Each structure stands twice: as structure tokens, then as C-alpha cells.
Chains A and B, each alone.
Chain A
Amino acid sequence: MKGHNMKIIYKRILILGIVAFWCLLQPESLLAQTKEVSGQVSDDMGDPIPGVTVMVKDTSIGVVTDLNGKYEISIPDVYDVLRFSYIGYISIEETVGSRSQIDIQLFPDVTDLESVVVTALGVEKSVKSLGYAVQKVDGEKFTKAREPNLMNSLTGQIAGLQVNNSTALFQDPAIRLRGAVPLIVIDGVPSTDNDFWKINADDVESINVLKGATASALYGAIGRNGALMITTKRGGKGTKVEVNSSTIFQPSYLVIPEVQTTYGNGDNGQYAYVDGSGSGTEGFGWIWGPRMDVPDPTTASGFVERPQYNSPIDPATGERIPTPFISRGRNNIRNFFQSGLISSNNINVTSGNDQGNFRLSASHVYQKGLVPNTDLNNTSFTVAGGYKLSEKLSADASLTYNRQYTDNFPETPYGPENYLYNLVLWTGPDVDVRDLKDYWVAGQEGFRQKHFNNSYYNNPYFQAYEYLRSYHKDNTFGQVKLDYQANDDLVFTLRTGMNVYALDRTDKEPKSYIKYGRVSRGNFYIYNSGQINMNTDFFASYKKQIGQNLVINTNAGGSNRFIRFRSESLNTDGLAIPNFYNVANSEQPLQGANRLSNEQVNSVFGTVDFEFMNAIFLTVTGRNDWVSTLPTNNNSFFYPSVTLAGTISDLVTMPTNIDFVKVRGGWSQVSDGRIRLNRNSDIYNPYEHIQAYSPGISWGGSPSLVFPGALINPDIKPETSDSFEFGLDTRFFGGKLGLDFTYFQIRDFNNLITVPVSLTSGHSSRLENGAEYTRKGWELMLNTNPVSTNDFNWNVGLNLSTYKRFLTKSFDGSDRFGDLRVGERADQMFSNSQYQRTPEGRLIIGQNGFPIRDPYQRMMGHRDPDVVFGIQNTFNYKHFQLGFGFDGRIGGTIYSLTHEKMWWGGTHPGTVNQYRDDANNGISSYVADGVVVTGGTVKYDDYGNILEDSRTYAENETAVNYIAWNKTTLNAEYNHYFDASFVKLREVSLTYQLPNSFLKKTSIQNASVSLVGRNLMLWSKVENIDPDSGVDNLQTPSVRNIGFNINLSF
């Protein structure tokens, strides 16, 4: 408290000094009366802003706020208005009246032109000078309504960025910037391992999204698809301790599959358990069993009774005594899953002075999964700081250690490893999942799981508590940067960054665990891998003003990147002792494999910026790479970029309501020497260009080799993208409205493609350069600030974007490449398992009453959405802040495996009908809606289009067994391809900023409490799944996140 008092005394002295100073300068005021006003200036988050200019309007009287945002000013009586202004914030004028204390909140000016953004190589530039599209998101957006992964938080925030959010625990969101995977850069260092989990949201100052290659060309090949530039926090002036804590509950489901609860396990309406392996009328795995809850006055229970897996055994006969066949398992899915939780806590200390600053931060994020016994821990320690070593030399460095660890997280693709597989598709509602908690067969603990079906499915509790998939990953990343200011014009920068990880994973597979087609004898799998990625840049920057209107800015330098990756795997073949997970416990010889790869890129690059009259900006860049991932004769390549930005409003007088008009345009060419066989994946083999043998089957210990099907052109070259973009950036009505529009077109040519060839050539494909794709679209950003007063402020941000990819040239000059014709969209979804239809689209039914297969593949829809959008709203009223955001995607197609399999297996509610009862009673009553061909012929062209058709039809009249129909005709009547459009209420947050008057009595400088919710509402046409994920391979239920956040600083 003593320090506090001292501060006040100092402050008083300071104020007295200021007053005295002004009195001396303005002798007339000596005579006038003055009034004293004090207060604090804070930002929209309630954090104090130091350095805010507080001026008495129409005078030159003014003060600046101190480190705590506080000010005191004396105002001559004749004046009554104070003006608060600060760069990057909207200025506010406030009438004083009789008040002596005025606390002010300043809101960021979303339309600010002078604000700087971080561009390629970490160079900061003003928004005004950029010839390409950039969008910035502040780090504070990510820490309140916490997502387990930073990338999830970017959903709907950036025009042109599509984030597909997975519903399952610890699954990467899929991110696409203008349709391709962007580069992640942390503090100027590329992080090509694309591990989004290692970036702790609490440490993120801001993310600048460089949307296209025009912006990121300087990063070379890895920057071909734009970049997410993450800037981490540093210390400010003075010492501050901050605590941020969030607890998010997952109390309810947004989407959860609904299953029928009328029929139980079994086939053709029959069920009698013997051993769960097909010895009775069970074990086949179907949910096409008898009706449940059927009254039967002859039994003790009053219901039809059947022998079931948990029926008691008659000691006399050794057979099971029938028990009532009733719908115990109506709520199996909800009963099995538990509510999840995300708890994150961060504490950080920052300190700084004129010489330097530092920041220490420790974070822990704990996530409890929906599946029992699954979780995820994510811990980060970061130290970062900068220091002026001398007048000319300054250093900046950061280092983060991050550990992601879990002893068990669920597996998600379709199959017996997936919990939904066992719960939604393949458990009849006659079984109550809660009865399965005791999961060992008595007397066979460790050897045999207890379940109602022992041939196809796993007891979900057995799976959750015994089939354990662990993941432990240690990440270390950071950078050191030196700036040497040789003279006023010349700066040398040296930066080296590293991204290192070591990952160890194990899978413990207990005895009797079922994986398709096999009942495990117990196994232990180990997979270890590690990567070191070093990135070093050295460059010189020279800036020179020539005359009054021209500034030239140049950079030149070189860089080196080196990546070493290694992995080893080892697994047992059966376990001798159950539940003893050690490779020494293998029954049969161990199996193992390993891999090692090294990759290197050396580069030189240069840029020149010309600034004319601070209104026209021209930038030219060039880069040459030497890569190890191509044959040495083709490993060197050069690529350029040029951008131009012109502020028309600075050159021409504009009408009053138009504040600012900037046009910008850019072109770049970027080449890439990494051979990625799947353009949607970051995975590539640095030795892909080398034709070599692969290991084949080992028989009785005898190894073998196989020659792969891909034939590699030994003269392979890098692939190239030409990007062009044009943009318009405008501000209207005194900054109340900002509009930014960008059109882009990217021509991908010389692509490193897998050209499919006829298998008869002895190869399945050739690796070649060729074909041409064009990506194009537009992005629109609208920012508006319809209301802004001291008490109330409303901000709206809207972003809209489109993107499409077309095949524009084939490989061999023909009109086709693979499945596509030149000019067509490249995101078509094809199916090879359709049925024949009439030209009107009616099913053609065969003589057996079942539909006839279509021998041709058919196009079922387009994967990519037409429009991706997001709307963010922020309201500030006094100490409250309310934010909510909607986002979504319009158009696109999603294939629902959940839907298909529910119809197939018998759990879809639509299968509850009379035909099903008939089938259960042995009656074939289902007459499919279709036609039979009564005569004539049809002639198709080579691709299945009808050339001639003289077929005549009659209505189908053949009745078939409804169950056989559903088991056989997966795609006939129900379309499992859905319109993927959706709108989501992504986030709502309400924050209360504790008033200063309250905090004055404590040592707390700043405190806020927020109530937050994410993933709250969904509007979509898709059944049973959340289309946000973009794919459905038997998706985990989607949950609502609701919780609170507390932020304190001292």
C-alpha cells in the first residue's frame, strides 16, 4: 500500500507541475477559473491504455495517460469538451459538465489505415501500402470462448478461409485458404509440421492472414497457398501479471443420431442368443430382429420372452432362460457418452522498459472427451522477449515448450474402432448399454470381453477402458532474431527458427478385441517419430528517400531450411500374458519398420518497394530456390511477384462521404518442388522423385520387394502457380463503413500429377508435370460501426467468399483428364455403385424385384460450397460487451456414411413400417417404386450417356422381402448425398468488466467475467450429422459448448 501511496504523491506532483507549466505559458488562464477532471481510459476489453492523448477541445491544452491509463487534467472554465484520441482507436469527444471523474472506453477503429500488419519474412507494413489482401484477427478473440484448437476459433472470421471443424476429440480441423492448405508462420518462422495444437491461444497477439501467393511469395514454395502469420505476445512497459481461466462445459448435443427403438437385434425378425457368434439366431450383427415390447399374456413378464445375452442360465439344461424382449436401450447413445469439458488456465508475467521486455507464460488446457476414459492435455511454457543490446543491435527471441498428451483418445473412421459404429449402427435397442459396464466374461478376465455379439462388435466400455490409444508429443519451437542498424538507412537481420518434435504413440489392444475379420490375440503397437526443422534467414534492408515524393525500400537475403524426420514402429503378434503390454511379451515374431528422411531448401531472395507521394506503392520480389526433393538437374528455379497499390483518395478529391479509396493488384509466380500426391494433405515424401522398390510381404521370415505402380518421370520439374488478384479497399462516412473486395485467380500448371494409365501398361500411374487447374473466386469484407457513443458501440463485421477449382487443360491435350472433362469443376464426387435409371430418373428394377446395377460411374455432386460466410457482431454498453457470430457455408455436397449404414443395418427410424413387420413374418411385401423394362434397347456412349433409347417400361410389381431389399440396395432409393449448406450460431459471449471504482480498493488492475457459448445452434438439411466437418465417416455427435471465462490482471 505504501507504493500505492507513493504513486499518488508522484502523480500529484506531476499534475501540479503540469498545471504550473501551463499557467506560466498561458498567463491569461491565471485569471480564469479552472476545473479538475481525472479518470481512466481503457479499451473495449477493459485493459487500460497508456499514452492516450486527452485534449481540451479547441485548445492546445492536453495530457497523456499514464501506464495505468489514468489522467488528470485541469480545464479552463470557458471550455467544456475533452477529446480522447489514440492511434488505432476511434476518437471520442466528451462533454465534461459538472463531472470531476470521467472514465472512458475507446474502441478499436476497425477501419484504421495506419495500422501495420506483419507480412512475409516478418516485415511490418502499413495496410495502405499493400498490393494484396490481408486480414488480421486479434488474439483476444481466441481466449474467451475457448476452443481446444486455435484453428477452430478462426471459423467464420476470415474471408476466404474455410475451416471444417471435426466433432471428435483431438482431430485436426481441415483448413483451406482459397481452396488450399496455407502455411503457418510463427514469429516469422515457417512451421511446416502444421501442428495446430501446439500453438497456445493465450500467447497469440494476432494472426495476419496473407491470403494468396502474391502476399507470401517471399516464403517460396511453402508460401504458395498463402500464410497464417501468427505473432506471439511480448511484454509491454511496466510489470503486469495476468491470469486467464476458462471452463467450458458440453452440456447438450447439437446433433446426435436418432435411431429406431421398435425392433431389436437379429435377422429376418428372429433372435435367440446362444453364444453371440452365430450359433443361435444371432451373431450375424444385423439389427433386423423381432419387434420389442410385444405383449404376451402367457409369460410372467407379460411380454414376449427370448433368450438374450444376459439371460440367466438354467443349471439343469445349461440353456438360457428367456427374458422379456423389451426396449431397454432407447437412450443408449446418450447413456454411453458423457458430457465433455474444456478447462484452460493461463498465467503470464510481462515486464519491460526502454531497453527491453520479456513475457513468461504457462498454460494448461484439459479436455475431457465425450467417450468415457478419454481426454487430452495440452501444456505450454513460453518465454519471449526482446532487448536492445546496444544502440545498433537489438535481439528478439522466443521459446515454447509444448506437450500434448493423452493415455487414450478415440479412433474415428468407420469401423469397429469407432464408438458410433458399436452404438448407433450395431446395437439393437433390446440391449441397454449400461448393462455392459462389467465387460469381462466372469472367470475369463483378460481373455474374453463380454458382449451380446462376439463376432463383429466390441463392448463400448471394454473398448473405452481396455483398448487404449496413447499419444505423447513434445514440441519445442522458437526463434532468435538479431537486427543490426548499421546506419539510418541500412538494417541487417539474422533470424533462425526451429520446430522440433518427438512423438510417441502406443496402441494397447486387449485379447478378444474385435477388428474387422479378426478377433485379437492381444497386441501392443509402438510408433515413435520425430522431426527437426531448422529455418535460417539473413537479409539486409535498405531504405532511401529520393527527393520529396519517392521512397525506395529494398531487402535482399538468403535462407536455408533443413528438415530431418525419423520414425520407428514395432508391434507384437499376439500377447503371451494378457494385459501385459510390452514387446517382449509377443507370442510370435515381432513386426517392425522404420523410416528416415532429410530434406533441404536453399534460397536467395530480394524485394524492392517504391513509394510515390505516399499514395502509390509498387513492390517487386524475386526468389530462387534449390531443393533436394527434385532431381539435381531440375532443382533450381526462380520465381517473381509484383504488386501495385494506389490510394486514389489521396490523388483525387473525393465526394464528402468517401474517405478513402484504394485499388490494388498483384501477380506472382511461385514454384514448388515438393511432390505431394494428395493436394489436400501436407504429407509428402522428399524422395518421391526416386524410382525404387518397396518392401513387400514377408513369408516365413523371407522378405520380399515389389516394384511400385507409379512410374516416375526422371526429368520431373517443379510445379508452378500463377496468382493474380485485384482488390478495392474503401472507407465511407467518416470511417463508419469499410468495404474491401478482392478477386483472385490462380493458374496451377506444370502440376506434379499422378497421371492414371491403363493397368495393362504394367503401371497404374505416371508421375509427370502437366495438366492445368484454375482456382478463382472473390472475397468481400464489410466492417461497419453503425452506433458509437461513449456508452454504446456496435460493430459488425461480415465476410463472404467464393472459391471454385476447374480443370483448364488436360495432361495429353485431349478433352479429358481422369474423371474430368476440360472446363469442368474439379471437385465432383463420383459414385461407382449406383443403379440404372430411366431418363426421368426412375429406378429400373430387375426380374427379381431388385434394382439393376449401373455399370458406369455417375457424378453425384460438388464437394466445395458456393459461398462461405461469417458475421460477427460486437455491442459495448458501459461495462458490458456482447458478441455473437454466425457463420456457415451455402452449397456443396456431403456424403453421409452414417445415413447409409443406418438404413443398411436396420437402425434408421425410417425402417419402422409395415413392410418390415411383413418381412419379420416371412412375407415379401415390398414393391419398390420403379419400373421394369418390357422391351427395346438402350445404347450408351463410352461414358454412360444414353445415345439411343427405345426401352419401354411397365410399373414394377414384384414384391420382395423388405429386409433383403435394405441389406442389398445401399444407394437405390435413399440418397445419401446431402446438400451440405448450413448456418451456425458459432459464438455468443457476454463480458462484464468490473468497474474501476470497485477495483480501486484492491490490487487488481483489471478484471472481467464472461459467459460464453460456442456451437450453439445449427440450421441444415442433413440428417443426423453436423455438416461443419465437411465429411461423415460415422461422425461423433456434435456438442454445444457453454461456459465462463475469468480474466484478471495485477
Chain B
Amino acid sequence: MKFKNILYIVTLSILLLASCQSFEDLQFDPNRPVQAEPGLILTSIEANAFSTVSAGAALASRQLIYTNSISDNQYYGWQRGSFGDYDQLRQVSKLSEEAERTDNNSYRALAIFFRAYYIIRLTNTFGDVPFSEAVKGGEGNFLPVYDTQESIFTKVLEDLKTANSLMGSESGEILGDIIYNGNQDKWKRLINSFALRILMSMSIKTDNPTLNIKGKFTEIYNNPSTFPLLRGNQDNGALVFLDVEGNRYPFFNSNELKTAYYMEKSFVDMLKARKDPRLFVYADKTANGSNLDDRDFNAYEGMGGAEPLAENTNQILSGDGSPIDRRYHSDPENQPSLLMGFAELSFTIAEAAHRGWITANAADHYHEGIRASMLFNSIGNSDIDAYITQEAVQYSAETGLMKILEEKYISLFMNTGWEAFYNQRRTGIPAFSLSNQIVNPGGVPKRWMYPQNEIQLNLNNMNEALQRQFAGNDDINAEMWLLNP
């Protein structure tokens, strides 16, 4: 009896330690949700899409130089680009699904807009890229064909019109909106302004009758009630940085930006030539000029982006190089990051007016752009007025295009992604310096090669696109459709 008791007690207590749960209960992950509200997806898309501050673009656009090594951006040694934006297109496609599920036209319009934004970024980088069959892995398509750049631009312009018509005060509440806080009207303005940017980016194709760029530009510009546009910096498509972990200015506390990024000579000289006060907020004084007044143009010097690295380093070591302004690495909020700002829109309209696409006063829009850019950089109105009245800044029919594009170029410093570079690629303004230090024998590259992964994972479609565009060569100097008159 005693022995049996021991046996029972011990056996029972051991078995109690074994656990048995139902396998169905263990199929729920307590750490991750399987369904999302559209607003939650929107927040992450916005945080990515509007984060456009790129030091690499400033190097390639001869606004900054880099001293830690021979930078591929500065010396044009780049080769392959990245398809990382397709990751974001996946989020956009989820937003689109959730918009359908919740039957919300605002989210539908936003999904269309962001899809347009990312695919344009991709096609600007490479040329033809997958679009119509892209982001369909969930449906089993892992080998999407590449669409022609022409078809992508055509489709995007149609889509943006749709987005504009879907978006409105009655189109549904937008939650999780860290840009416009759910203001449908402002979104409408951004969507239409973005369409104007795309049309202007196709200026080389002005004479293509099927594209009808002029007509499309006019249609939007002339119908502000249907196609409202940004009205000022208050409408900027801007991500405002916050002094909270993960939300700070991307280069806040960056030691590299602090010690290895300096101003480029042609850019500094351009600002000096027109006595542009933005130099004082873009750059810091040189070591040798540290005793001069902050507003003394002689306190600022740049280094040639095409000069040998060692020479630039030596110029800095001898105290004659201006670093980038300290606010870019010391102010956690600094300035907002723009997907598209009012200044850029103004210059785009000014250029359209100059080209005769629309009936408008180019000079007015040109001045509006300058003012918006200066205000964005916290320059006072009296300085702005003084600047605009200068001879060197005056708009004229002869030099107008150059003036507009130079001002646009200045306004895009450390903002709006690679727009400064793409505008230069389209117009050649301003000229970028070259020398025998440049890695690419062809000078300023026109594009990036397709990513290595495509060779392993989507080779036939990539090769077909290369054959179609560049006789099979994946060449950084090849001119994509957009750049061919």
C-alpha cells in the first residue's frame, strides 16, 4: 500500500509537469497582427517616401564633396543601382488592398499616388523597369516583364488624374497621416503638382505628338478648380522631423557629415557670384575664415568635385575648405524633408511659361520660387527682396531658362532626393565639372545598371529590356527613352 502511494504520487506529479495545449491555439502569433488598418500602413509609407535627404545626390550634383575616400557618387564611379523601392511598392499594394477592404477613396487615391511616385523614381534610375506585372508575387508572378519607360510615364499620368478625381473632401477619412494630418485638399494639390513635375521631366519629348505633354500640362495648370496646386510652403509635401528617437533629421549627430562632407567649389562660387545668403545656412566658414563675419562671403570656400581627393584634403587641412553647415548634423529637427515643395513647383511653372507651354509670367513664378526657397531656409524677407533685385538674379527671356534652372538647383540642396541631378541630366544646367580623376570615361553617367540580383532571378526579362533599349548593354552612359529627343 505504501509503495503504491509513492508510485502514484510521483507519477502524477511528473505527468502534471507535461503540458498539452491544442495545436490550433498555437497557430496565433501573439507578436504580429495578420490584418492592418490602412492608416497604419500609410504612416510607414509616408515616413519612407517623404524622407528624401540624400548626401549622395549632393555629391553627384556637385554641391558637396567627400573626403574619406574616392566616392562613387562624386567621381561618377557608380555601377549598379538598387530595386529597394519595390519593397515600398509592396506596402503600397497592401494599402491599396486595405483601401478596397474599407472602401475608402482617399486611401485609394493615396495608393495610386505613392505607386506613381516610386515607379517614377525607379524608371528615372534605370530606364525600363517592371511595372504592369510588378508586385504580383502574392499571385505567383515572380518573373515580371519590364515595361517600357514610355508606357510607364503614360500610365502614371493617367493614374494621377484618377487619384486627383478620387481624392476630395467626401472621399473618406485619412488616419495615420503624418504629412497633411488627413487634409484631402492638400493631398489633391500635391498629386497635381507632382504630375507637373513628371510632365516637365519629359521636356525633351515636347514634340512627341502622342504624348501631348504641353496639352496635359496646360490642362492641369489652367483648371485650378479641378486640379488645385500647392499655394505656398504651407502646402509643401514635407516630413517634419521631431526630436524623438527614430524621428530625427537623418544626419543628426552624423560624424561623417560633420567631418567628411565639404562644400563643392562650383556651388559655392555660384552662390558667391549672386551674393546668395543661402550660402550662410548651407555652409560653415572655413577654418581660416573663422574670424570673419558669418555673412562675409570670403569666409566660405569650396573644393572641386573633380579634383584629386588628396588635393581637396590638403586644401581642407590648410584651412580653406567650408564644411556643410552644422545644422545638418547638430539640429535634430533641422528642416523638413520634401517630397515636393512649393519652390520646385514655382520653378517648374516658370520653366513651362518660359518654354511657352502655358500662358503665364515666368518671372513672377521664378521670383515666387526664390522666395519660397529662401523662406524655407529661414532667410528674412528683406534679404530676399535685396537678393531678387540684383542684376545677376534678374530674369530675362534670353537667359531665363538658365536662371530658372540654376535657382531650382540651388533650392534643391540637401532636399527632394535626386531632383537636382535629374534636372541637370535633362537640361545640362548647371554644367558639372569633369577631369581625368573621374572614374567613368563617359563623364556624368546617365543611369545605373540593373541590380545583380536580377541576373540571378529575372535574367530573361532584364535582358529583353536591355536589348530593347541599349542593344543589350547594361551601360551607365546609355541614354534612356526619356533623354532621347
Tell me which of A140-148, A612-620, A847-855, A1015-1023 binds B: A847-855
Query: Which residues does chain B contribute within 8 Å of A707, judged by CB atoms?
Result: 36, 41, 90-91, 94
A631 B308 Cβ-Cβ under 8 A: no
CA separation between A292 and B244, bound complex, in Å? Answer: 45
B40 interface residue, CB < 8 Å from A? yes
Within 8 Å of chain B (Cβ to Cβ): is A599? yes
- Say whether B137 faces chain A, with CB atoms less than 8 Å apart: yes
Q: Is the CB of B27 within 8 A of A699?
A: no
Bound together, the chains give a CA A635 to CA B79 distance in angstroms of 47
Cα A281 to Cα B286 in complex, Å, equals: 12
A299 at the interface (CB under 8 A from B): no
**A residues less than 8 Å from B80 (CB atoms):** 855
A503 at the B interface (CB under 8 A)? no
B94 CB contacts on chain A under 8 angstroms = 707
Assess the B310–A922 pair: CB atoms within 8 A. yes
Q: Does B87 contact A (CB under 8 A)?
A: yes
With A597-B31, A693-B32 as given contacts, are A699 and B138 in contact (CB-CB < 8 Å)?
no
Residues of chain A with a CB closer than 8 A to B208's CB: none
CB neighbors of A among B9-32 (8 A)? 10-11, 14-15, 17-21, 23-24, 26-27, 29-32
Could you give, for residues 855-880 of chain A, a 1 whenever the CB lies within 8 Å of some chain B CB and a 0 otherwise? 11100000000000000000000000
Taken residue by residue from 504 to 531, chain A's Cβ proximity to chain B (1 for < 8 Å, 0 otherwise) reads as 0000000000101111000000000000
Judge whether B291 is part of the interface by a CB distance below 8 angstroms: no
Cβ of B90 and Cβ of A693 under 8 Å apart?
A: no
Q: Nearest chain-B residue to A818 (Cβ)?
A: B456
Given A534-B19, A850-B70, CB of A284 within 8 Å of CB of B3 = no
Give complex CA distance A57, B309 in Å. Answer: 91
- The residue in chain A whose Cβ has the minimal distance to the Cβ of B46 is A699
Question: Contacts A268-B314, A562-B19 hold; do A847 and B441 have CB atoms under 8 A apart?
Answer: yes
Decide yes or no whether B436 CB sits under 8 A from chain A. yes
B3 CB to closest chain A CB (Å) equals: 5
Q: Which of A628, A764, A857 contacts B27 (CB 8 A)?
A: A628
Answer whether residue A759 sits at the interface, using C-beta atoms and an 8 A cutoff: yes
How far, in angstroms, from A832 to B80 measured CA to CA in the complex?
Answer: 11
Distance in angstroms between the alpha carbons of A572 and B93 in the assembled complex: 35
B439: interface (CB < 8 Å): yes
B134 within 8 A of A: yes
Given contacts A268-B313, A942-B455, whether A284 and B134 have CB atoms under 8 Å apart is no
**In whole angstroms, how far apart are the Cα atoms of A268 and B21 in the complex?**
68
User: Is A756 a contact partner of B14 (Cβ separation < 8 A)?
Assistant: no
Whether B379 is near chain A, meaning CB under 8 Å from some CB there, is no
Distance from B37 Cβ to chain A, minimum over Cβ atoms (Å) = 8
Stretch at the interface among A106-114, A333-341, A962-970, A1006-1014: A962-970
> Which residue of the partner chain A has the closest CB to B95?
A707
Q: Pick the contact of B310 from A268, A285, A695, A701 — CB < 8 Å?
A: A268
Contact of B17 among A534, A602, A687, A756 (CB under 8 A): A534
Q: Is the CB of B33 within 8 A of A283?
A: no
A709 on the B face (CB < 8 A): yes
Residue pair A632, B86 in contact (C-beta under 8 Å): no
A697 lies within 8 A of B246 (CB): yes
Assess A267 versus B313: contact at CB under 8 Å? Given A560-B18, A588-B243, A760-B83.
yes
Closest partner residue, chain B, to A266 (CB atom): B317
Contact with B439, one of A285, A480, A850 (Cβ below 8 angstroms)? A850
A781 to chain B, nearest CB (A): 39
Cβ-closest chain A residue relative to B440: A846
Q: Is B89's CB within 8 Å of the partner chain A?
A: yes
Q: How many residues of A contact B (CB 8 A)?
A: 105
Q: Which residues of A contact B130 (CB under 8 A)?
A: 758, 760
Closest to A757 in B: B142
Per the bound structure, the CA–CA distance linking A277 and B10 in Å amounts to 69
Which A residues are in CB contact (< 8 Å) with B459?
942
Given contacts A519-B253, A707-B91, A759-B453, contact A600 B19 (CB under 8 A): yes
Q: How far is the CA of A706 from the CA of B80 in the complex (A)?
A: 26
Which of A86-94, A215-223, A389-397, A404-412 interfaces with chain B?
A: A389-397
Interface string of B64-90 (1 = CB under 8 A from A): 000111101001010110011011011
B323: A residues at CB distance < 8 A: 278
Do A762 and B134 contact each other (CB < 8 Å), given the known contacts A573-B244, A600-B23?
yes
Q: Is residue B458 contacting chain A, with contact meaning CB distance below 8 A?
A: yes
Give Cα distance in the complex from A455 to B20, angstroms.
Answer: 56
Q: Which of A393, A456, A696, A848 contacts B7 (CB 8 A)?
A: A393
The listed residue (A455, A698, A848, A964) touching B438 by CB distance below 8 A is: A848
Q: In the complex, what's the smallest C-beta–C-beta distance from B74 to chain A, in angstroms?
A: 11
The reply on A702 being an interface residue by CB < 8 A is yes
| B386 close to chain A: CB less than 8 A | no
Q: A268-B313, A848-B75 are in contact. Are A598 and B26 (CB under 8 A)?
A: yes
A-side contacts of B176, CB under 8 Å: 702, 704
The closest CB in chain A to the CB of B309 belongs to A964
The answer to whether B397 has its CB under 8 Å from any CB of chain A is no
Residues from chain B with Cβ under 8 Å of A596 in the complex: 30-31
B212 within 8 A of A: no
Q: Which residues from 119 to 145 on chain B have a C-beta closer than 8 Å to any C-beta of chain A?
A: 129-130, 134-138, 141-144
Contacts of A560 in B (CB 8 A): 18-20
A712 smallest CB distance to B (angstroms): 11
Residues on B with C-beta less than 8 A from A595 are 31
Chain B residue with the shortest CB-CB distance to A966: B69
**Bound CA–CA A389/B10 (angstroms):** 11
Q: What is the bound-complex CA distance between A760 and B83, given in angstroms?
A: 7
Given known contacts A631-B27, A853-B79, A848 and B437 CB-to-CB distance under 8 angstroms = yes
Min C-beta distance of B347 to chain A, whole Å: 29
Assuming the contacts A573-B244, A597-B30, asked whether A855 and B458 have C-beta atoms less than 8 A apart, the reply is: no
Q: Min CB distance, B237 to chain A, in Å?
A: 15
Q: Smallest CB–CB gap between B375 and chain A, Å? A: 24
Identity of the chain B residue whose Cβ is nearest the Cβ of A393 in the assembled complex: B7
Measured CB to CB, the closest approach of chain A to B30, in angstroms, equals 5
Q: Least Cβ distance of A639 to chain B in Å?
A: 19
CB pair B436 A848 closer than 8 Å: yes
Instruction: Decide: A961 near B43, CB < 8 A? Known: A480-B14, A494-B11, A763-B90.
Output: no
Question: Which listed residue (B41, B68, B69, B449) contacts A704, Cβ 8 A?
Answer: B41
A536 interface residue (CB < 8 Å to B): yes
Q: Shortest distance in angstroms between A282's beta carbon and chain B's nearest beta carbon?
A: 9
Q: How far is the CA of A330 from the CA of B239 in the complex (A)?
A: 50
Between A284, A480, A494, the greatest number of chain B beta carbons within 10 A of the residue's beta carbon is seen for A284
Complex CA distance for A857 and B84, rounded to whole angstroms: 19
A761 part of interface (Cβ distance < 8 Å):
yes
Question: Closest chain B residue to A281 by CB distance?
Answer: B317
Q: Is B47's beta carbon under 8 Å from chain A?
A: yes
Contact partners of A798 in chain B: CB under 8 A: none
Tell me if B216 is interfacial: C-beta within 8 Å of chain A: no
Provide the A829-859 mask, 1 if CB < 8 A to any CB of B, else 0: 0001000000000000011101011011100
Closest to A856 in B: B452
Partner of B258, one of A278, A562, A711, A963: A278
Question: Which residues from B are CB-within-8-Å of A964?
Answer: 69-70, 308-310, 313
CB distance from A958 to the nearest CB of B (A): 8
Q: Is B44 part of the contact surface with A, judged by Cβ < 8 Å?
A: yes
In the complex, besides A560-B18, A707-B41, 12 extra interface pairs with C-beta distance below 8 angstroms are: A278-B258, A496-B18, A518-B255, A596-B31, A697-B246, A705-B33, A706-B41, A706-B91, A758-B454, A853-B79, A922-B314, A960-B308
10 A-B pairs (CB sep. < 8 Å) = A516-B255, A536-B18, A562-B21, A589-B244, A691-B34, A705-B33, A709-B87, A758-B458, A761-B135, A963-B310
**Interfacial residues, chain B to chain A (CB-CB below 8 A):** 3, 6-7, 10-11, 14-15, 17-21, 23-24, 26-27, 29-36, 40-44, 46-47, 67-70, 72, 75, 77, 79-80, 83-84, 86-87, 89-91, 93-94, 129-130, 134-138, 141-144, 176, 178, 242-247, 252-256, 258-260, 287, 308-310, 313-314, 317, 323, 436-439, 441, 449, 451-459, 463
Per CB-CB distance, the 8 closest pairs between chain A and chain B, nearest first, are: A762-B135, A761-B137, A961-B310, A704-B43, A696-B44, A536-B18, A687-B29, A628-B26
